[in-house]
Amino acid sequence: MLDIQNLKVVFGTGRLRVEAVKNVSFHVEQGAAYGLVGESGSGKSTVLRAICGLAPITGGRVTVNGEAVTSPRSKAFYRTVQMVFQDPYASLHPRHTVDSTLSEPLAIHGEKDAESRILQALREVGLGPSFRFRYPHQLSGGQRQRIAIARALILRPKVLLLDEPTSALDASVQAEILNLLDDLRRRLGLTYILVSHDLAVVAHLCERLLVMQHGEAVEETTAAALRSGAASNEYTQSLIQASQGFTRAAPQPAQAPAA
Amino acid sequence: MAGAPPFPQPSGLQAWLLSAEPNSRWQARLGRGYLGWRSFTKNPLAVLGLAIVILLVLVAAFADFIAPYSPIVGGDLRTERLLPPSETYWLGTDDQARDIFSRIIYGSRITLFVVILVSIIATPVGLLVGTVSGYLGGWVDTVLMRITDIFLAFPRLVLALAFVAALGPGIENAVIAIAITSWPPYARIARAETLMIRNSDFIAAVKLQGASTPRIIMGHVVPLCVSSLIVRVTLDMAGIILTAAGLGFLGLGAQPPMPEWGAMVATGRNYLIDQWWVAAMPGIAIFVVSLGFNLLGDGLRDVLDPKAAK
């Protein structure tokens, strides 16, 4: 479904030149969920932004459904690939009601029967029709993220790019959103690419994942291997350790020779 | 403990307006408007400003019914010139034996005409230049902003003078001259707002839906710039009135016998010591209306632009 070969993203020139992503390659099957994991600044979000055209592709190839993407992306691309952003407080227009947020993509693509599509989209993300004419400030963080997911799904895309979709939410709402995403994937046959620094989230949602550090791919592994704690790479090991929480190093037994 | 509810429940219309679950687009919009109105009315000075502006509009609309005399045809030049305020002539008469009260009433039309026309011309131009240059960036930004800088560099009254001198005096030319000199600040404000908005996630989101650039600018950027512009325009209206009055005073705006307030002050100048009311009355009118617009603008800023509020 999605194939990425030697992707390279460079920002700026001269002294300001930053290589955000260096030669990252991976392949995602249709209907699969693929995770990108790494610390802040490892370039995982940049990979997503490069796929959907928000960041430049400096080198390499991005292929969606067997076709290389064009710059600027075509309308057909946006019907296939959609994105959910990290911060639901920033990704909804503050002056637009839920209704106008959801009807915008339909209007752009000239879709008919907006009315029923909007109500259906709301139902899909577990919100009732009573939410339709609310403004973002009348919604909670979890509800906003549901609206953002509904907006991404309303064009019936095949690939959903998820940029840390739960990191701005509190723990109980995180679980709700993750379950919703899991459920939607199975029902609609979606392909996910999930970016997260949280190994638990990735292990919950994805089958395979890529560990990134400093813009480079470190290791490709499976969620099952991650859960069992098997990782060949040192950096992955340290991530696993970090996800298990902070443990104080065992106090060293006093070995000072009596003097 | 059964009985009265703990809080007074809002009644019919108010409950409908404040509903957390509006049933239609209009209910949602009206509810927002109502909340804005409530915070606006908490500021008594702003309400006073609004009252003055509404009064100006009403006076202009019903000038024919309010004014007791003609604003242009004077009375008997031998007996009715330069009379002090009295029961017959509430604000006195001027050197042509015309009733000053009637002239001020009719003059409100000219003032309103200038203010509305300038804001209709200048605001959209400033908004468009600012949002386009802020959103597109690059060389478009450079070109548009340098043009803005050029217009900003002209002193307002001097450019207006030059313009009126070229096109000939008259209130329409004064309006065009004022409009040409007043859009650059609006473009700057709109650009600054756009620069803050353009990298936000909700713009990226609508880009990812395949929206065209004009669609993003008109539908997503402009609505967020409009409120701060409305505030700025309202606060500028006093300045616009004063510039129009200044041009009238210099004889380059409204031409006699039009009852323009600035021109009226100019004629009154000759009798300032002995017949003070000739200049003072239109001066007070200019002052009151300018004050009204300023108070209204201040109140609007508190409602529309929470960032700038204290």
Cα B165–chain centre separation: 25
Report the range of poorest mean pLDDT among A75-84, B76-85, B118-127.
Answer: B76-85
Mean pLDDT over A12-16 rounds to: 86
Q: Is residue A243 part of a domain?
A: no
CB A209 within 8 A of CB A221: yes
Domain that holds residue A69: 2-89+152-236
Coil, strand, or helix at residue B70? coil
C-beta atoms of A133 and B23 within 8 A? yes
pLDDT tier for residue B1 given thresholds of 50, 70 and 90: very low
Q: How high is the pLDDT of residue B214?
A: 94
Q: How high is the pLDDT of residue B310?
A: 42
Distances (CA, A) of B290 to A53, B40, B112: 50, 19, 11
Q: Phi and psi at residue A123, in whole multiples of 5°?
A: -65, -40
- The answer to whether residue B112 scores a pLDDT higher than 80 is yes
Q: How high is the pLDDT of residue B309?
A: 45
CB B67 within 8 A of CB B102: yes
pLDDT tier for residue B254 given thresholds of 50, 70 and 90: confident
pLDDT tens digits, one per residue of A144-194: 999 999 999 999 999 999 999 988 888 888 889 999 999 999 999 999 999
Q: Phi and psi at residue A10, in whole multiples of 5°?
A: -125, 130
Q: Is residue A257 part of a domain?
A: no
Coil, strand, or helix at residue B261? helix
- The answer to whether residue B141 scores a pLDDT higher than 90 is yes
Report the range of poorest mean pLDDT among A219-228, B61-70, B187-196.
Answer: A219-228
Question: What is the spatial distance between Cα B63 and Cα B130, in angstroms, rounded to a whole number?
Answer: 38
pLDDT > 90 in chain A, percent:
42
Residues of B with CB under 8 A from a CB of A: 20-25, 27-28, 32, 200-202, 204-212, 215, 219-220, 223-224
Question: What is the spatial distance between Cα B86 and Cα B68, in angstroms, rounded to a whole number?
Answer: 13
Q: Which is nearest to A177 in space by CA: A123, A216, A141?
A: A141
Which positions ≥6 away from A129 have C-beta within 8 Å? A119, A122
Cα A181–chain centre separation: 11
The full DSSP string for B88-114 is SSTT-B-TTS-BHHHHHHHHHHHHHHH
Q: Is residue A145 part of a domain?
A: no
pLDDT tens digits, one per residue of A108-157: 999 888 889 999 999 999 898 889 898 888 899 999 999 999 999 999 99
C-beta atoms of B205 and A109 within 8 A? no
CATH of the domain at A203: 3.40.50.300
**Minimum CA–CA partner of A75 in chain B:** B210
Which positions ≥6 away from B243 have C-beta within 8 Å? B156, B157, B160, B178
Ranges assigned E (strand) in chain A: 2-11, 18-28, 33-38, 59-64, 67-68, 81-84, 159-163, 191-196, 208-213, 216-222
Q: Is residue A247 part of a domain?
A: no
C-beta atoms of B24 and A90 within 8 A? no
Q: Is residue A210 part of a domain?
A: yes
Instruction: Please tell me the total count of domains within chain A.
Output: 1
List of domains in chain B: 94-304 (1.10.3720.10)
Question: What is the spatial distance between Cα B238 and Cα B234, in angstroms, rounded to a whole number?
Answer: 8
- The answer to whether residue A250 scores a pLDDT higher than 60 is yes
- Which residues of chain A make contact with B219, given a CB cutoff of 8 A? 104
Mean pLDDT of chain A: 88
Question: What is the spatial distance between Cα B267 and Cα B142, in angstroms, rounded to a whole number?
Answer: 46
A42/chain B closest Cα distance in angstroms: 20
- Which residues of chain B make contact with A136, given a CB cutoff of 8 A? none
C-beta atoms of A52 and B223 within 8 A? no
C-beta atoms of A99 and B25 within 8 A? yes
C-beta atoms of B201 and A151 within 8 A? no
Half-sphere exposure of A98 (CA within 13 A, CB side): 34
Q: Is residue A251 part of a domain?
A: no
Question: What is the spatial distance between Cα B99 and Cα B259, in angstroms, rounded to a whole number?
Answer: 11
* Cβ-count burial A199-221 (b if 16+ within 10 Å, e if not): bebbbbbbebbbbbbebebbbeb
pLDDT tens digits, one per residue of A18-54: 889 998 999 999 999 999 998 888 889 999 999 998 9
- Which residues of chain A make contact with B201, given a CB cutoff of 8 A? 85-87, 90-91
Q: How far apart are the first and last CA of chain B?
A: 43
Q: How far apart are the first and last CA of chain A?
A: 70
Question: What is the spatial distance between Cα B278 and Cα B265, in angstroms, rounded to a whole number?
Answer: 7
Q: Is residue A189 part of a domain?
A: yes
Mean pLDDT over B188-206 rounds to: 92
pTM of the entire predicted model = 0.84
Q: How many CB pairs under 8 A join A and B?
A: 76
C-beta atoms of B207 and A54 within 8 A? yes
Question: What is the spatial distance between Cα A146 and Cα A138, in angstroms, rounded to a whole number?
Answer: 14
Q: Is residue A53 part of a domain?
A: yes
Q: How high is the pLDDT of residue B50?
A: 95
Q: How high is the pLDDT of residue B127?
A: 95
